[in-house]
């Protein structure tokens, strides 16, 4: 077994659609597990999301479903339902499901039912609002959870309408928690011989993401304010407009602030009592930015990156996705992966084991591509 494929020999069944559950099984698949993706004849909803390739494939689906096998089943059909139940009871190590609340129980495919025959099974329920509570049966999507969980209240610019974080942070975070839960249960199974039924949800992930903000509220009862590209209680720590775009400058401690002032020629600021500590700099950020903003605007991002890099002040340009993909650091890491003559290039797992990144083994499957192979095997 390769160090980069620690889950080789583990079989995962994904009864999922959209982003959250597929991202969870995507992680496990990249770690070496065999992932059987169960789809209806219509396919995963994500097959119709994002930008479409000339051959009809969806960019969203391609991004989330590498290293999987697609099996099309009609779970209203007793024969297909029986096949899936038997497969989970006899061949599966893990099931991840995000069907609408109550549906798997109606089908007899819930964790409690399958574990009667397969006590070693690890079963992850990935719901919307959680397994209990008044909204346990309600459906949900990423923007709903960013709203309900408080994320939107702290995202964006002050006095502007709510905005969603531009990536599916709740969906993908929930998939990550699913993978973490499964990995913990697999480890526990090595000593107990038994699996587990694990519950997670989009709402719980959203709530977990605002842990810092929740702790702040406990201090004084005030809701956190929106701070745009900055961070609450840290300064200077935000994007600044340069001659050709924005540059994020991070100098949130005394040592870095001193380096920044020396690099920009603001030695007099070092003795200014308004900026003596991080908390004072944050309290007087408007005053501080009156010095920083006009100077940074005079030169390009590359100019200031060179100056600040030499001074040891962390900084980074606000890049477009095309710039990030072409960046030499991105390419050096080998995280953008492809197979010979296959498109598009895909982002791989952000982990390496003993210097080896888990490989892209197979491109995302066509709908039902492996139905006969898996059912026949």
Give the pLDDT confidence of 203-235 residue by residue, as tens digits: 999 999 999 999 999 999 999 999 999 988 899
Q: Are residues 363 and 297 in the same domain?
A: no
5 lies in a domain? no
Q: Is residue 373 classed as helix, strand or coil in its secondary structure?
A: helix
Residue 112's H or E segment, with its range, is helix 111-117
pLDDT for 207 equals 98
Place 3 in a pLDDT band, splitting at 50, 70 and 90: confident
Are both 204 and 338 inside the same structural domain?
yes
Same domain, 339 and 300: no
The reported pLDDT for the residue numbered 251 is 97
Same domain, yes or no: 247 and 156: no
d(CA 225, CA 215): 14
Lowest-confidence pick of 1-5, 277-281, 319-323, 357-361: 1-5
Do 81 and 160 lie in one domain? The reply is yes
Rg (CA), the chain: 24
* Mean pLDDT over the full length of the chain: 96
Q: Are 10 and 94 in contact (CB under 8 A)?
A: yes
Which string of DSSP letters, residue by residue, matches 270-302? Answer: GG-GGGSSHHHHHHTHHHHHHHHHHHHTTS-HH
Higher pLDDT, 333 or 101: 333
The domain total for the chain is: 2
Where residue 100 falls among pLDDT bands split at 50, 70, 90?
A: confident
d(CA 289, CA 183): 46
In a domain, 232, yes or no: no
254 is catalytic: no
* Sole residue written with tokens 């583990």: 10
Pair 31, 112 in one domain: yes
**Domain shared by 159 and 243, yes or no:** no
List strand residue ranges (DSSP E) for the chain, in order: 11-15, 34-39, 68-72, 94-97, 122-127, 196-201, 237-242, 245-250, 315-317, 336-337, 346-347
Residue 2: per-residue pLDDT: 77
Residue position matching structure tokens 């949900």: 140
Instruction: Specify whether 312 is located in the same domain as 283.
Output: yes
Which one is catalytic: 110, 171, 220, 272?
A: 171
- Answer whether residue 126 is part of any domain: yes
User: Rounded to whole angstroms, how far apart are CA atoms 189 and 168?
Assistant: 31
The pLDDT, as a whole number, for residue 23 is 98
Tell me the CATH number at 245. Answer: 3.30.1540.10
Higher pLDDT pick, 106 / 4: 106
Residue where a domain terminates, one of 271, 291, 317: 317
Measured distance CA(74)–CA(16) in Å, rounded: 14
Using the structure block, give the residue that is written with the tokens 């002040």.
313
My answer on whether 125 and 273 are in the same domain is no
How far is it, in rounded angstroms, from Cα 363 to Cα 359?
11
- 60 shares its domain with 106: yes
- Asked if residue 48 belongs to a domain, the reply is yes
203 in a structural domain:
yes
Helix (H, G, I), strand (E, B) or coil at 7: coil
Instruction: Identify the domain containing residue 264 by its residue range.
Output: 237-317
Asked if residue 351 and residue 290 are part of one domain, the reply reads no
pLDDT over 90 percentage in the chain: 95
What are 239-284's pLDDT values in tens digits? 999 999 999 999 999 999 999 999 999 999 999 999 999 999 999 9
Predicted confidence (pLDDT) per residue in 131-169, tens digit: 999 999 999 999 999 999 999 999 999 999 999 999 999
Instruction: Report the predicted TM-score, pTM, of the whole model to 2 decimal places.
Output: 0.93
Whole-angstrom Cα distance, residue 153 to residue 89?
44
Look at residues 317, 347, 366 and tell me which one is the last residue of a structural domain: 317
Query: At residue 1, does pLDDT exceed 90?
Result: no
Per-residue confidence band for 340, with pLDDT thresholds at 50, 70 and 90: confident
326 lies in some domain: no
pLDDT tens-digit readout, 170-210 = 999 999 999 999 999 999 999 999 999 999 999 999 999 99
User: Within 210-327, where are the H helices?
Assistant: 211-220, 254-264, 278-283, 285-296, 301-311, 321-326
Question: Nearest CA to 43 among 66, 74, 76, 13?
Answer: 74
* Cα–Cα distance, 155 to 18 (Å, whole number): 24
> Is residue 222 in a domain?
no
Phi, psi of 345 (to 5 degrees): -65, 145
DSSP 74: -
E strand or H helix at 80, and its extent?
Answer: helix 78-90
311 occurs within a structural domain:
yes
What is the CA 120 to chain-centroid distance, rounded? Answer: 28
DSSP class of residue 234 equals B
Same domain, 172 and 89: yes
Question: Exposure of 157 by Cβ count < 10 A (0-12 exposed, 13-18 middle, 19+ buried)?
Answer: exposed
- CATH number (domain holding residue 41): 3.40.50.10540
Q: Is the pLDDT of residue 311 over 90?
A: yes
Give the torsion sign (CA, 47, 52, 57, 62): negative
Contacts of 93 by beta carbon, 8 Å cutoff, 6+ apart = 10, 11, 12, 33, 120, 121, 122, 186, 195
Reference 253, options 234, 226, 272; nearest CA is 234
Beta strands at 34-39 and 11-15: parallel, antiparallel or unpaired: parallel
């Amino acid at each position: 077994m390769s160090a980069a494929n620690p889950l080789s020999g583990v079989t995962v069944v994904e009864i999922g659609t959209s982003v959250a559950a597929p991202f969870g099984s995507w992680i496990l698949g990249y770690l070496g597990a065999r992932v059987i993706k169960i789809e209806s004849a219509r396919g995963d909803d994500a097959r119709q999301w994002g930008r479409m390739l000339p051959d009809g494939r969806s960019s969203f689906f391609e991004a989330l479903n590498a290293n999987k096998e697609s099996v099309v089943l009609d779970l209203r059909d007793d024969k297909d339902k029986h096949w899936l139940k038997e497969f989970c009871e006899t061949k599966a190590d893990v099931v991840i499901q995000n069907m609408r609340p109550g549906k798997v129980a109606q089908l007899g495919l819930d964790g409690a039912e399958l574990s009667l025959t397969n006590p070693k099974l690890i079963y992850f329920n990935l719901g919307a609002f959680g397994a209990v509570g008044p909204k346990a049966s309600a459906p949900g999507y990423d923007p709903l959870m960013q709203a309900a969980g408080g994320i939107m209240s702290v995202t964006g610019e002050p006095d502007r309408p709510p905005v969603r974080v531009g990536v599916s942070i709740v969906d993908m975070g929930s998939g990550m928690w699913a993978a973490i839960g499964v990995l913990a249960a697999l480890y526990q199974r090595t000593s107990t011989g038994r699996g587990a039924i694990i519950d997670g949800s989009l709402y719980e992930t959203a709530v977990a993401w605002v842990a810092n903000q929740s702790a702040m509220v406990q201090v004084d009862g005030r809701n956190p304010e929106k701070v745009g590209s900055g961070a609450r209680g840290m300064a200077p720590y935000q994007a600044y407009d340069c001659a050709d775009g924005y540059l994020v400058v991070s100098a949130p401690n005394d040592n870095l602030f001193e380096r920044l002032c020396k690099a920009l020629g603001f030695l007099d600021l070092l003795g200014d009592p308004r900026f003596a500590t991080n908390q004072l700099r944050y309290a007087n950020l408007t005053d501080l930015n009156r010095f920083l903003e006009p100077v940074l605007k005079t030169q390009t991002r590359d100019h200031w990156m060179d100056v600040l890099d030499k001074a040891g002040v962390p900084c980074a340009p606000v890049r477009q996705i095309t710039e990030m993909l072409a960046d030499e650091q991105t390419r050096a890491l080998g995280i953008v992966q492809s197979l010979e003559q296959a498109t598009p290039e895909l982002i791989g797992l952000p982990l390496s084991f003993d210097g080896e990144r888990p490989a892209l083994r197979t491109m995302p499957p066509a709908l039902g591509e492996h139905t006969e192979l898996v059912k026949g095997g």
